[in-house]
Amino acid sequence: MPERQKEHTVVSIIQARMNSSRLPAKVLMPIAGYPMLSWVVERARMSQLTDKVWVATTTDPSDDAIAGYCADQGYPHYRGSEQDVLDRFYQAAKLAKADIVVRLTADCPLIDPGLIDEVITALIEEQADFAATRLPPPFHRTYPIGLDVEAVYFSGLEKAWQEAATQYQREHVMPFFYEQEGQFSVTILNAEEDKGDYRWTVDTAEDLQLVEQLAAAFGGRRDFSWQEVLVYFDAHPELHGINSAIIHKTFKDVDTRNNRNAESSQ
């Protein structure tokens, strides 16, 4: 069990929007009886080191449904820029009075609360500026896609908000930290076994089909660990082919549709 870091207010912020290009409205699609966004919020709330979980969506009318769902469920939420995701994320963190900010996205319903705690612990204990479960290519990831967790101190996020200038830095929030060579201390967590080619995120109908089957395998439980998912996934090789042909977007991809975000940015 991790020790609570009581000197810090830790806020997990989930980026969510309806207007994704490959699977519109995915964040409210049902998975084993619950909207996908509910999976992310409730599993993030299971993190022992997280004090608050917020949803950051946009002011676009298409996201009224997300805001309404959050209001109905009592989920704290913030509505901000659709184009400048870094600003939306920063404003939500400021409003939530965060000392440490954990970035999650609404298309990762199998996000693991224990892994969130590991990233928070690494940020604090290793006195890092940025801690995460992966960096984008050319770096190699070892956790399945869909278990992405990033954590920073609010002071660092504010610096990024003030100084990040490129479109993809504003859209993908965290590249500022791993592109400023020598400016930040970066800690990356690695899994014991390399499972970086596994895809448990939801960007397409095939992804949703796979995640639905994985979630349903636990008979209504929502507290299963990613290691339990891994055991089940590896025991059922027929599942591996459901979304194996999907190409994952990179952090430098930007959405040019009316200058809107890519769905990987949420």
Model confidence pLDDT, tens digit, residues 200-213: 999 999 999 999 99
Q: How confident is the model at residue 6 (pLDDT cuts 50, 70, 90)?
A: low
Residues 6+ apart with CB under 8 A from 13: 53, 54, 55, 56, 89, 92, 93, 96, 98, 101, 102, 103, 104
Kindly tell me if the per-residue pLDDT of 246 is higher than 80: no
Q: What is the pTM of this model?
A: 0.90
Res 213: pLDDT = 97
- Whole-angstrom CA distances from 26 to 38, 84, 100, 240 are 12, 21, 28, 21
Percent of residues, the chain, with pLDDT higher than 70:
90
Instruction: Tell me the two tokens of residue 200.
Output: 């448990």
Kindly tell me if the per-residue pLDDT of 265 is higher than 60: no
If one compares 94 and 8, the residue with the highest pLDDT of the two is: 94
Model confidence pLDDT, tens digit, residues 64-80: 999 999 999 999 999 99
Kindly tell me if the per-residue pLDDT of 134 is higher than 50: yes
Please state which CATH number belongs to domain 10-259.
Answer: 3.90.550.10
Mean pLDDT of the chain: 90
Q: Quick one: how far is CA 143 from the chain centroid?
A: 13
Lowest-confidence segment of 31-45, 156-170, 182-196 by average pLDDT: 156-170
Kindly tell me if the per-residue pLDDT of 259 is higher than 60: no
Q: How confident is the model at residue 248 (pLDDT cuts 50, 70, 90)?
A: low
| Domain residue limits, the chain | 10-259
- Helices 226-235, 205-216: crossing angle, 10 deg rounding: 100
Res 100: pLDDT = 98
Please state the three-class secondary structure of the chain as a single string.
CCCCCCCCCEEEEEECCCCCCCCCCHHHCEECCEEHHHHHHHHHHCCCCCCEEEEEEECCHHHHHHHHHHHHHCCCEEEECCCCHHHHHHHHHHHCCCCEEEEEECCCCCCCHHHHHHHHHHHHHCCCCEEECCCCCCCCCCCCECCCCEEEEHHHHHHHHHHCCCHHHHHHCCHHHHHCCCCCCEEECCCCCCCCCCECCCCCHHHHHHHHHHHHCCCCCCCCCHHHHHHHHHHCHHHCCCCCCCCCCCCCCCCCHHHCCCCCCC
Stretch 84-110: mean pLDDT:
97
Percent of residues, the chain, with pLDDT higher than 90:
76
